[in-house]
Amino acid sequence: MLGLLGALVAGAPAAAPSPRAPHVRAVTVVPAAAGSTTALSGYAIRSTAEVSDAAALVSAPGYRTNGWHPAGPRSTVLAALVADGTHPDPFYSTSQQRIPAAAFTVPWWFRAEFTVADTSTRTYLDFSGVVSAADVFVNGKQVATASAVAGAYTHHELDVTELVRAGANAVAFRIQPNDPRKNLTMGWLDWLQPPPDQNMGIVRDVLVRRGGRVALRDAHVVTSLAMPSPASADLTVKAKVRNESAEDVTAAVSGTIGSGIAFRREVPLRAHETKTVAFTPADTPQLHLDRPRVWWPAGMGAQELYELDLTVTVPESGSGSGSVVSDRTRRGFGIRSVQAPLNKDGARQYSVNGRPLLIRGAGWSPDELLRWDPAYAEDRLAYARDLGLNTLRLEGHLEQDEFFDLADRYGILTLPGWQCCTKWEGEVNGTEAGEGWTAADYPVAKASMAAEAARLRDHPSVISFLIGSDFAPDTEIERGYVDALKAADWPTPVIPAAAAKSAPLTGASGMRMPGPYEWVPPGYWYDKREGGATGFNSETSAGPDIPTLDTLRRMMSPAELTSLWKDPAAPQYHRSPSRTYATLKLYDDALSARYGAPRSLEDYVATAQLAQYENVRAQYEAYARNATDASKPSTGVIYWMFNSGWTSLHWQLVDRYLDQNGAYFGAKKANEPLHVQYSYDDRTVAVVNRRTTAVSGLTARVSLFNTDGTQKYDRTVTGLAVGADGAKAVALTLPASVDGLSATHLARLVLTDAAGREVSRNVYWLSTRRDVLDYTESDWYHTPTTAYADLTGLRSMAQAAVSATATTSTGGDAPSTSTTVVTVRNTGTGNTPALLTDLHLVDGKDTPVLPVQWSDNQISLWPGESATLTATYRTADLHGSAPRIRISGWNTPTATVPAT
């Protein structure tokens, strides 16, 4: 059964249909050690419509599962059926429409077995992540009902000690169908075409927990950094101890933090009594730390982490005078301070460890089938850091524990919160989808909040919880959330909504959600209105993000690809189920008006990369430029979105297969640590410094060229200095007009340091005719453009001759990693630059090697100029092939060179 899980690798096509195993067994060996937790290794699943046996039989050890399907330990129904070949790969073309939704309108059985050799210790089932609800049975007996096990985020601990026997044991979940409009679970809204099973299943580990007479629960560390200086910190260690026996007992709770801090206390407990134990600096002086190892976001410092190891022991049974371990737990945590007050303009301004930062983020999506692949998750987080992002927002779909562990390690801040417009906001979202709450929903919502607060509170990467998205909760719902957060010692700001809403207890959100979600020109971002660069915009982008041609050919049929570039009014299945985003017409109209009508699929994709590069770059650059303004500064921006959960045509900086296009490299350019940039509104050229120290002695050179490479303007400014932590310095303002400048022209910005080394280079394609926006007709998803910039002159650019040489090395500090160094040069003899030259690392079959991290890419070079770039990747992803570099560009013929 476990061998079939290989097909769950993110983005992999479904395996060819194979005969269903005659008898599917999922058996987990559970040790007896007190304090151990063992995840069920997988399930046998089947529709209740195909199982006539009673629950008592289905949940009995040894029940024959002939004709059942194997499922992984965290699996939706559809994920399992795709993995075993029952249904086609839903990520290609319209294959998902071939999967009958009627099969998922009845409950499904998830059945597993586990073995124990010793029943002298207690046994518990510990789980969350049931979508949407489940009746639970152990060894033929029902231990919980679907009314009790309801909601994807609620946490459940079921004591099954009296039912567990030595040898084989069985657990069965009868999973109820999911409807995100009716259940407090997960949904997809307009992000992608929703899976026909609506993600019903068990999407987090079900743990078999063993323990002795006294259980240890709810262990966590409350940290307090002595601000405004992080020179010292106080730690408070808390946990609950619960006497599971009918006799009084004195338990000893002892713990360590790292190798230098140890503490211990005896705790008397009456029969079945629960106590909260707290170790504070007042009674445990070693919990006051001088010079603590402080955790910082990426780019601001190191990601220091600590580990708490907590144990409870009880006297040994019988006449012995010794003690035995009854339970234990380990928790990682970090020490940092997060503040997010409202500034004078009412915008949320985050600071970490006393240093303010502009939130440069994007929206995270899990896999559409909620499949968890740790390597794939880590690859995406590595990409986020490579892009210079410091934050990911999770609107619902609150990821696995390992995701937050990775975010802690990579220094990526996270903004988790509840999802908009479904049942989560059914009481307050007006005419949006989602039904009103019943009396049963309030305790489920509060329990969900309590569970997620306990799960996330120790992660230093988590800097808030958004208890609303498009809407703020009403008083009753908010009170449940706030009480649950307070009880969990939640350490960071609680935000009532991602939109500009207020709630009675948590006040104004300090965030706004004005859009856009559809195409707008790059100049839009600089205006301090609508979605422009002011305040904290919690989700926004110019909508479509067309992937590379390699990715498009993996996800769409030939007929769909023809329609993609020829028919702007055609519905695009891989965009969204929303009527608002059904087509690419707004995007395609702008593309044709600004750049000229596409001539082929290849031309359409190349043009899209130009458009996405300039637009995404402008979005991040505008927010960076305005971050230090005295009036209405920008404080945060969340690009909507970072990635898609499937093969998509919109809302993604990173595509499904981790290929990188214009949107990716536009974001990477805009967010580089020391950056020279142009402003579309006032023509200023500024230097933004995101480093932690100020810099001086900089030189900025700005040159303007016609598309034939003729230089029409050139100015150099020396002696520039700029402060740290996002400060900016304006170098110059370009003139409103330049003699002889063509309607379409290029701007080259080069920043060098005091030693003359190039530290930032940025090339823009501009027009003497500006895009014109009609703000009077703005709506929630875009602002119409009534006149377009003229960039059609790019089509008349001569071909540029580009050469490249590449070498590859393997080993060093990371023996599983290879590094390819590429020197690319414009060898042309005239004046024409090579615009947006793209390098792709490919294998012997011309297939992109992914993931890959480039030092820079999609660069523009003038004749005689060269650049040396590096690509880092896993050697195994070459699959034994020799690496090659494919070179292409706007006006560069495609060529491939060896990189051995």
* Residues classed as catalytic: 470, 539
Angstrom CA distances, 393 to 190, 347, 367, 413, stand at: 17, 17, 15, 8
Q: Regarding beta strands 884-889 and 866-874, do their DSSP bridges make them parallel or antiparallel, or are they unpaired?
A: unpaired
Q: Which residues contact 452 (CB under 8 A, 6 or more apart)?
A: 153, 398, 416, 465
Q: Say if CB 652 and CB 663 are below 8 A apart.
A: yes
Q: Which residues contact 615 (CB under 8 A, 6 or more apart)?
A: 520, 521, 522, 542, 663, 666
Q: Say if CB 415 and CB 466 are below 8 A apart.
A: yes
Q: Regarding beta strands 274-279 and 785-787, do their DSSP bridges make them parallel or antiparallel, or are they unpaired?
A: unpaired
Q: Give the position of tokens 């995840």.
A: 39
Range 38-52 burial, b when 16+ CB lie within 10 A, else e = bbbbbbbbbbeeebe
Rounded to 10 deg, the angle between the 601-625 and 585-595 helix axes is 90
Three-state SS for 686? strand
As a three-state string, the secondary structure of 508-544 is ECCCECCCCCCCCCHHHHHCCCCCCCCEEEEEECCCE
Q: Is 727 exposed, middle or buried (0-12, 13-18, 19+ CB in 10 A)?
A: middle
Task: State how far the Cα of 729 lies from the Cα of 687, in Å rounded to an integer.
Answer: 5
Range 736-749 burial, b when 16+ CB lie within 10 A, else e = eeeeebbebbbbbb
Three-state SS for 443? helix
Q: Say if CB 824 and CB 887 are below 8 A apart.
A: yes
Tokens of 674: 């020391």
Range 512-547 burial, b when 16+ CB lie within 10 A, else e = bbbbbbbbbbbbbbbbbebbbbbbbbbbbbbbbbbb
Backbone phi and psi for residue 785, each to the nearest 5 degrees, phi listed first:
-105, 125
DSSP 44: E
Q: Which residues contact 303 (CB under 8 A, 6 or more apart)?
A: 295, 296, 334, 408, 409, 410, 411, 460
Among residues 589, 451, 442, the alpha carbon closest in space to that of 521 is found at 589
Q: What is the largest CA-CA distance in the chain?
A: 100
Task: State how far the Cα of 640 lies from the Cα of 575, in Å rounded to an integer.
Answer: 14
Q: Which is it for the CA torsion 362, 368, 372, 377, positive or negative?
A: negative
Q: Say if CB 418 and CB 467 are below 8 A apart.
A: yes
Please confirm whether the linkage preceding 571 is cis (ω < 30° from 0).
no
Tokens of 80: 């399992």
Task: State how far the Cα of 25 lies from the Cα of 175, in Å rounded to an integer.
Answer: 18
Angstrom CA distances, 379 to 657, 664, 850, stand at: 11, 14, 9
What amino acid occupies position 700?
A
Tokens of 657: 């297969």
Q: Say if CB 546 and CB 659 are below 8 A apart.
A: no
Q: Say if CB 310 and CB 219 are below 8 A apart.
A: yes
